[in-house]
């Protein structure tokens, strides 16, 4: 299946510290590429894979599930870990949920996590019905493109494949049930004015992560896809400072 122009994965080898980026549900690497390029320019080795079923057609995505997306990230994480002294993971929306799952599974092998508007629970009421809707309709209206910045666009599907969406509740439940395993430093960027993910997910993190490893930064001038929005620069700079603080080896440019 041909990949949409701009939806290609991005990889760049620089220094001994690696960052695995995880894009969101129905999105593409395009939403995180400027962020990945910024960190690569600072001397980090970065990997931004395209998740299975994404960046082609929603019909193809309909044949995938969360386990497929996680498997791609897990494979890329193993590759990075084999080439870098240590690895951080970063994600947007559902990609942030998958990043937290990587942290739960791999423990100390994940040096730290950066999450932008993480999705940990059902925020779109229609998705609550996905397990039943998948038997009736193949897709519903998409959730992409929630950006405040004029002229900025997200490369993502205009339709949400219901069969793929129906697999999300199990992932959300799994990640929420094991938040106690997330002991790594966690930096969360949160847009209060988010029309896709409600504040519930960040509230859950604040309630469950009480060990002092959680930092939440509010983004006052961005919607959901904050990595392409007005506060993108704050995310780029803040995540770089976070990685410099928690990395045990110097970055290539330090």
Instruction: Give catalytic residue positions.
Output: 93, 194, 224
Query: Most distant CA pair in the chain: distance in Å?
Result: 56
Burial class (CB in 10 A: 0-12, 13-18, 19+), 178: middle
Instruction: Return the structure tokens found at 225.
Output: 């896809």
DSSP letter at 55 equals S
**CB 111, CB 247: distance < 8 Å:** yes
Residues 6+ apart with CB under 8 A from 119: 24, 25, 93, 94, 96, 97, 172, 196, 197, 201
Alpha-carbon distance of 93 to 27, in angstroms, equals 10
Residues 6+ apart with CB under 8 A from 190: 117, 199, 202, 216, 217, 218, 219
DSSP letter at 49 equals P
The sheet carrying 186-190 orders its strands as: 10-12, 45-48, 17-22, 86-92, 110-116, 186-190, 214-218
The Cα angle at residue 73 between residues 120 and 79, in degrees rounded to 5: 145
**CB 16, CB 85: distance < 8 Å:** yes
Instruction: Return the structure tokens found at 110.
Output: 């994940």
């Amino acid at each position: 299946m041909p990949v949409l122009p701009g939806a290609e994965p991005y990889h760049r080898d620089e220094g001994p510290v690696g960052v695995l980026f995880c894009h969101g549900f129905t999105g593409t690497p395009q939403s995180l590429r400027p962020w990945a390029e910024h960190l690569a320019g600072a001397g980090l080795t970065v990997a931004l894979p395209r998740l299975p079923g994404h960046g082609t057609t929603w019909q193809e995505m309909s044949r995938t599930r969360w386990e497929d997306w996680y498997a791609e990230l897990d494979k890329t994480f193993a590759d990075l870990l084999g080439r870098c002294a240590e690895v951080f993971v970063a994600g947007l929306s559902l990609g942030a949920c998958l990043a937290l799952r990587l942290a739960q599974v791999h423990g100390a092998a994940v040096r730290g996590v950066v999450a932008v508007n993480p999705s940990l629970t059902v925020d779109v009421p229609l998705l609550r019905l996905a397990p039943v809707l998948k038997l009736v309709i193949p897709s519903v209206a998409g959730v992409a493109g929630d950006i405040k910045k004029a002229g900025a666009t997200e490369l993502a599907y205009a339709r949400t494949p219901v069969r793929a969406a129906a697999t999300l509740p199990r992932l959300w439940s799994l990640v929420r049930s094991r938040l106690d395993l997330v002991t790594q430093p966690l930096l969360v960027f949160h847009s209060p004015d988010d029309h896709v993910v409600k504040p519930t997910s960040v509230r859950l993190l604040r309630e469950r992560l009480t060990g002092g490893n959680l930092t939440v930064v509010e983004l006052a001038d961005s919607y959901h896809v904050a990595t392409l929005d007005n506060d993108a620069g704050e995310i780029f700079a803040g995540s770089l400072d976070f990685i410099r603080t928690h990395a045990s080896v110097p970055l290539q440019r330090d």
